[in-house]
Structure 1
């Protein structure tokens, strides 16, 4: 359970750090904060790798992070989403879920 907590904390830091790149694009003073957020995300992801298979942890980290960044970009930054883009995001989540399920079945 701790590994999953680390993974979701890594996702939160990655999403925050990535959004800060857009929000503070012209403020050089914010770059250290962005760096710390993204570095923390990778450190927590490495902790999750200790108990969660790499394929599963990375797929969940990438798919969930991409989904959140995309949705928050639309909500906070006024970026527009097309139906095909939403379908692609659903495909990413489905892929991560299938990797997780396949890994559990292989371990059994």
Structure 2
């Protein structure tokens, strides 16, 4: 559970840091403290992502981090910054979410119980493939 909390926090920091880049670069003046804040948010996001990697498979954690980040940044860009979304962009956001969900589903442990050693035979018998020695 801690790994997922770290991952969700990493996503929130990454989204905040990325959106702050747009907000701070749009403001008049030279970026200073604003740029340092943005770098700090993005660095903290990577630190938390690395903590999530300890318990969540890399493919899943990175896919969720990237997909959720892109979806949130795109959606918040439309809501907060007034950027326009085209149907293709909405479709891409849906595809990102589906892709991350499929990666997560594909890395779950196999729910089938182990039935013993596999022999490579397609008949399903548990006959050992070791050579028989007669006495």
Output the TM-score relative to the length of structure 2. Answer: 0.77
Structure 1: where are the runs of 5+ without partners? none
Moved over 4 A (4+): none
Task: Indicate the structure (1 or 2) with the bigger Cα radius of gyration.
Answer: 2
Higher relative contact order (CA 8 A, sep 6+): 1
1:95 pairs, out of 95, 99, 102, with 99
1-side partners of 2:96 and 2:36: how far apart? 30
Higher helix share: 1
RMSD: 0.8
Aligned residues: 106
User: C-alpha displacement at 1:29, in angstroms?
Assistant: 2.4
Deviations 1:14-66 (A, max 9, x none): 00000000000153320110011000000000000000000000000000000
Output the TM-score relative to the length of structure 1. Answer: 0.96
User: In structure 2, what is the equivalent of residue 22 of structure 1?
Assistant: 22
2-side partners of 1:67 and 1:78: how far apart? 15
User: In structure 2, what is the equivalent of residue 69 of structure 1?
Assistant: 73
1-side partners of 2:20 and 2:31: how far apart? 10
User: In structure 1, what is the equivalent of residue 61 of structure 2?
Assistant: 57
